[in-house]
Amino acid sequence: MDSNNQIQEISVALSELFEKVEKLKLKLDSLCKQTGGCAHIKAINREILKKKELINGTHINSFREEE
């Protein structure tokens, strides 16, 4: 029963995390469009993602605006 509770807690935490990431993506896209700095923001994001891939072998594409 304890492992079921842990699984449920992790599931809830992941769900909340994904919801927060979506909110951040919307805010980032809005700021990007308001400031006109989309190209700069996307370039920085690509660099961050590349560094993360090198560090832990994962690719999180959470802040890229759909093209």
DSSP string, 5-45: HHHHHHHHHHHHHHHHHHHHHHHHHHHHHHHT-HHHHHHHH
The average confidence (pLDDT) of the chain is 78
Residue 67's pLDDT is what? 44
Residue 56's pLDDT is what? 60
How sure is the predictor about 16, in pLDDT bands with cuts at 50, 70 and 90? very high
Here the tokens at position 59 are: 């690719």
Q: What is the pTM of this model?
A: 0.54
Percent of the chain with pLDDT over 70: 75
Residue 19 has pLDDT above 70, yes or no: yes
